[in-house]
Structure 1
Amino acid sequence: MRLTLSTRVRGHYHEVMARFDEQLLLRLSPPGIKVELLHYGGSLPGQRVHLRLRILGLIRQEWESEITEAGEHEGEIYFTDEGRRLPFGLTSWRHRHIVRQAGPGHSIIIDDIHYSSRNALLDLLLWPLFYVQFAYRKPVYRAFFRRMARQQRTG
């Protein structure tokens, strides 16, 4: 299955991508999901991110991803993480994080996700859950990068 969401934020695409770090990652979890960051290696190929998730205080899962590619094209920069240890019956996860220049002082963050589970029905059932989880990021991204732009202006 595929899920793609786009969010317009303030900031040059290089500056926005530079802030894709553990501080931002920890802000992106929606209510009901507690995230413990066990390891944050970065966003370059070969680096890993390892999370422990607690969902609704009951379900405990681990998620580990490896950065498999990163690159830059004219006006766009990206990295891709692929799941190595996945929860929820997922069998594959590929998430490309794209930041594209969108005019002076603005960028678009694109979350382009491909996933699969043990069966097609579960894929369909997971789609709205992932949609809600990633839609939650939109106002978080906007506020985070608005604050960053303000701090840069005030020095």
Structure 2
Amino acid sequence: MHVILRTAVAQPPAQVMAGFSRELFLALAPPFPKLRLRRFDGCRTGDQVEIELDTVAKKLPWTSLITDDGVLLDGTHYFVDEGQVLPPPLRYWQHRHLIEPGPAGGSVIVDNLEYRTASRLLDALIYPAMWAQFAWRRPIYRRWFGRPRL
């Protein structure tokens, strides 16, 4: 299943990419489930991010590996994280972070997520929660990187 959300911000792609830090990662965490950051190497190929999700009933580990990063010919900065250890019901996770050049020197942050569970029905049932988890990021991105000029 795919989830794609686009958020326009004021800063240019290189500045936004440089702002993807441990502090931003923590600021982007939704209120539930509670997240404990165990490791954050960064957003470059080979870096690892390890979190623990506290669902009240159980603590679930999640480890992602940054499998690719770079700059495209059009000036888009990007990095890709892929799940290595995933909490149930997830079986596959790939999150492409794209920071595209936007109008007036700003950027468009694109959260392009692909996930899978054990069934297509479950994929569809959890889609609203996945969408909401990433829609939560929009105002946070704008606080960190500024609102774009219209």
For this structure pair, what is the TM-score category when the shorter chain's length is used for normalisation? Answer: over 0.9
The answer to whether the Cα contact below 8 Å between 1:80 and 1:96 also exists between their aligned partners in 2 is yes
Aligned mates of 1:11, 1:103 — CA distance in 2: 10
Partner deviation per Cα, 1:27-80 (whole Å, 9 max, x = no partner): 11122221111000111111100001113x334211100000112112201000
Per the alignment, in what secondary structure is the counterpart of residue 61 of structure 1? Answer: strand
User: Structure 2 stretches of 5 or more lacking a match?
Assistant: none
The aligned residue for residue 62 of structure 2 is: 63
Matched, 1:87 2:108: no
Q: What is the CA-CA distance between 1:88 and the residue it aligns to?
A: 2.3
Alignment RMSD (CA, Å): 1.5
The aligned residue for residue 145 of structure 1 is: 145
Aligned pairs, how many?
A: 147
Q: What is the CA-CA distance between 1:21 and the residue it aligns to?
A: 1.1
- After TM superposition, the score normalised by the length of structure 2 is 0.92
Q: What is the CA-CA distance between 1:138 and the residue it aligns to?
A: 0.4
Matched, 1:53 2:53: yes
Q: What is the CA-CA distance between 1:82 and the residue it aligns to?
A: 0.2
Aligned mates of 1:48, 1:41 — CA distance in 2: 5
The aligned residue for residue 132 of structure 2 is: 132
| Stretches (4+) displaced over 4 A | none
Corresponding letter in the other structure for 1:97: H
- After TM superposition, the score normalised by the length of structure 1 is 0.90
The aligned residue for residue 31 of structure 2 is: 31
Aligned mates of 1:132, 1:53 — CA distance in 2: 17
Aligned mates of 2:6, 2:33 — CA distance in 1: 22
Aligned mates of 2:6, 2:53 — CA distance in 1: 25
Corresponding letter in the other structure for 2:94: R
Q: Percent sequence identity over matched residues?
A: 38
Q: What is the CA-CA distance between 1:104 and the residue it aligns to?
A: 2.5
The aligned residue for residue 18 of structure 1 is: 18
Aligned mates of 2:2, 2:40 — CA distance in 1: 25
Corresponding letter in the other structure for 1:66: L
User: Structure 1 stretches of 5 or more lacking a match?
Assistant: 150-155
The aligned residue for residue 110 of structure 1 is: 110
Aligned mates of 1:33, 1:22 — CA distance in 2: 18
Aligned mates of 1:58, 1:27 — CA distance in 2: 24
The answer to whether the Cα contact below 8 Å between 1:13 and 1:77 also exists between their aligned partners in 2 is yes
